[in-house]
Amino acid sequence: MDLIANLATGFAVALTPANLAFCFLGVLIGTLVGVLPGIAPITTIAILLPFTFTLPPASAMIMLSGIFYGAQYGGSTTAILVNLPGESSSIVTCLDGHQMAKQGRAGPALAIAAIASFFAGTIATIIIAVASVPLSALALKFTAAEYFSLMVLGLTGSIALAHGSAVKAVAMVLLGLLLGLVGIDVNTGLPRMTLGIGELGDGIGFVAIAIGLFGISELMIALSRPQDRTLLSVALSQLWPSRKELKDCLPAMLRGTAIGSILGVLPGGGAALSSFASYAVEKKISATPERFGRGAIEGVAGPEAANNAGAQTSFIPLLTLGIPGNAIMALMVGALMIQGIQPGPQVMTAQPQLFWGVIASMWLGNLMLVILNLPLVGLWVSLLRVPYRILFPAIALFCCIGTYSISNSQMDIGLMLLFALAGVFFVKVGAEPAPFILGFILGPLMEENFRRAMNLSRGDPMVFAERPISAALLVLTALLLVVLILPAVRAKREEVFQE
């Protein structure tokens, strides 16, 4: 069995003391930022990126991915106990989770959230391991035309799933693509849009943009909101759900895992969308939908399974095709490239230790998270008593140090400031920055593949339609666009994001 041999390779890497430590550090930090509202995993990963330079690639990826899925666990704790979503993916957990806490059932709510997450995490790990081999094999057959079409599909997906206006999301993607092209043109060696600044020859620093857009600008916006939290003093007398509750939850967990696994792979998808979809499904098929919003345990189990499954399967396009499906995965691409690894289907064969090590670490990380979250839940809750006015100067300082340390460049700090201000502007006008960062990462790749495909076809754009895989990807893109424009779907989409 190849699968078992591969997983054995992976566990051999993930179980080394150093990597176990990095995995633990990652899920610990993830839980921390998940619990604290106002610090998103994307910000944390952006801040920590520069410090992963000196680590071996596998350790860096193990830690960074731990932050991402760890935050899904932590986010639910805050949602249940404080009725504040620690992360956007735990918004729906507030609905029933907090109601359960008010009814004195905080223990079972927290336990079921952790159990559902672990259950989904285990299945998602297996799905990644099984699906990645054939997908990588398929991807190795890709030529420039297929890659280009795949990226078009990915970007369209991120537009479809962005919050708010789709037209603005298109604009943000294009803006990202354009800024991604700043720097020396690889084919001719001519500088493009560098304003004659030598440092811009390598392009605009990715870390400076990411930390500016997601770190500093988030601080500027968060500080203008009132910072009050009311802690529900809950007695965690009984932690475990009853056998009946567990039985009620099992189908919801299974459905949540399935929904999350599928939506996670989709371009632009991921954890938040999966949890919304799962909640809607559970409410719809329930025999007693009126219980939802009043402490229905399925309303916690389903979305919690879905967000964790979605968080993990969103690694599939990155690991097998080298194409990031959402903004966090775009940061992971950044992390790999800093390490000198070009993400793509060749990573699996060229770097099996890295590839399978990261996958195996996800399961170990999930196991650690259950232990971290259930017995230690009191500790995390007490963290919420740390006021934001103490936290945010520290975040600002770490953002600065992180960006500066990339190349000891004052200009990177200037760029970070510029993009922080742009980030505030984008939020104020209702344009989401996530499609921008995806476009920024894909810009150079897309241009290169577009130019190569057109060169090979002697300038005939039909090459994208004549190659079967490329054509199929473009048909999918067209379908997505049609669906997006249909008035009924548009109304529904706005309704979903309203909730």
Q: Which residues bind another protein (CB under 8 A)?
A: 51, 54, 167-168, 170-171, 174-175, 177-178, 181, 185, 187-188, 190, 192-193, 195, 216, 219-221, 223-224, 227, 387-390, 392-394, 396-397, 399-401, 404-405, 408, 410, 413-414, 416-417, 420-421, 424-425, 428-431, 447, 450-451, 454-455, 457-459, 461
Nearer to another protein, 224 or 233 (CB): 224
| Neighbouring residues of 88: CB distance < 8 A, sequence distance ≥ 6 | 40, 271, 272
Shortest separation between residue 440's beta carbon and another protein, angstroms = 12
Q: Which DSSP category does 90 fall into?
A: G
| Amino acid at the residue 151 | M
Tokens representing residue 274 in the block: 């999966």
In DSSP terms, 192 is beta-bridged to 183
153 close to 31: Cβ distance less than 8 angstroms: no
Residue position matching structure tokens 């196991």? 367
Secondary structure of residue 297 in the 3-state scheme: coil
CA distance 296 to 289: 9
Helices 17-35, 352-373: axis angle to 10 degrees equals 50
Shortest separation between residue 232's beta carbon and another protein, angstroms = 22
Nearer to another protein, 280 or 406 (CB): 406
Nearer to another protein, 219 or 321 (CB): 219
Closest CA to 38 of 293, 220, 205: 220
- 164: left (phi > 0), else alpha (psi -120 to 50), else beta? left
DSSP code per residue over 171-235:
HHHHHHHHHHT-EE-TTT--EES-TT-GGGGG-S-HHHHHIIIIIIHHHHHHTTS----------
Tokens representing residue 210 in the block: 């990411």
Nearer to another protein, 229 or 247 (CB): 229
Tokens representing residue 437 in the block: 């960062």
Shortest separation between residue 448's beta carbon and another protein, angstroms = 9
Shortest separation between residue 276's beta carbon and another protein, angstroms = 25
CA distance 420 to 313: 30
Shortest separation between residue 181's beta carbon and another protein, angstroms = 5
Nearer to another protein, 109 or 431 (CB): 431
Shortest separation between residue 110's beta carbon and another protein, angstroms = 30
46 close to 331: Cβ distance less than 8 angstroms: yes
Nearer to another protein, 150 or 219 (CB): 219
Through-space distance between the first and last CA atoms of the chain, rounded to whole angstroms: 46
Nearer to another protein, 382 or 455 (CB): 455
Nearer to another protein, 24 or 450 (CB): 450
Shortest separation between residue 474's beta carbon and another protein, angstroms = 18
Shortest separation between residue 476's beta carbon and another protein, angstroms = 21
Nearer to another protein, 356 or 392 (CB): 392
Shortest separation between residue 171's beta carbon and another protein, angstroms = 5
